Amino acid sequence: MRTVGVEEEFLLVDAHGYPVGVAGAAADDAQVELELMEQMVETGTSPCLDAGDLAEQLRQRRHVVARAAADAGARLVAVATSPQPVRSSVTATARYQHILAEFGLTAREQLTCGCHVHVEVADADEGVAVLDRIGPWLPTLLALSANSPFWQGQDSGYASYRSQVWRRWPTAGPSDPFGSADAYEAVLEGLIASGAALDSGMVYFDARLSQRYPTVEVRVADVCLRSPHALLLALLARALVETAARGELATGPAAGGRAELLRAAAWRAARSGLRGPLVHPLTLRQEPADAVVAALLEQLRPVLAEQAEWELAQVLWTDVLTRGTGAQEQRGWASGGLSEVLRHAAEATLASHGR
């Protein structure tokens, strides 16, 4: 079984739900890391084999960061964009200020919170083989995690508006097949040489090889409102990587990559989440979202069953269907005003499964 770890980014807000730039104070805790914006922080689990261990770490990390945020005078909220209007500020480190100088408003507007899943791979060759196969299925993971319907005080019309803002980076989004680890590195070198990225850490593909760990890093998802849904995302990502590494992942007409079609599928997932159609990876045609998720689960069922996670994945998926995605929950709370959205979201951020 491959190890899996999860990095989550969170918004810091005041009592009225407005983002506040207190990340520097909150990051005094060893488990809390600074991010590009002063109104957000990041934390991550250690690599895990057992789903129960990962679930506990996800829950525990959120509570640790929430306490650190409270000490800094803020609340922790797992939403991928701010419902309330905000003028965000870039963290005052040399690298982040360099990014701001090079990318201007694109950088300044990136108050967006994602979820990154790291899945162990044997080496770069296996990692690239995985990247070349999983692309058509990544929009489904985005739809499952969609948790950013609001932007600057209004409904964006999207389930994941974070993904639309994020794709303003010149290196963000899906990628064509690479074919080999050498070809992958050549693409990274070209992007850096062009100035589209300052370094390999700014190559923001929906899935990439991690430069820090021996992992494939699946980066397509919004931060999940609830930690059990983040657990589901991680288990599906691990099973996706394992299935792809075995050469058993069907990709249909999308097998050749074609980033144009993958961008369209990702846009469809961002637009409607689970409330409308998704692009089916095996047909590249719109089908009901539940049918596309069912197809993903069926693709991953042998690995999930082998790892004794099939029943858990079914339970977690049923919970997403019952509650809705974070975007659906946020919109359900919006009748009480955006401050109420943030109040409920702060409670959901720390809630245990079944509550």
pLDDT for the residue numbered 352: 72
CA dist list (Å): 121 to 37, 173, 210, 333, 337? 31, 21, 10, 41, 45
For the entire predicted model, the pTM comes to: 0.96
Residues 6+ apart with CB under 8 A from 185: 124
Place of tokens 């999940």: 224
Give the residue ranges of the chain where pLDDT is below 50.
354-355
Residue pLDDT, tens place only, 70-108: 999 999 999 999 999 999 999 999 999 999 999 999 999
> How far, in Å, CA of 68 to CA of 310, rounded?
35
Q: How far apart are CA 328 and CA 72, in angstroms?
A: 30
The domains located in the chain, with CATH, are 4-350 (3.30.590.20)
Q: What is the pLDDT of residue 31?
A: 81
Neighbours of 188 (CB within 10 A): 20
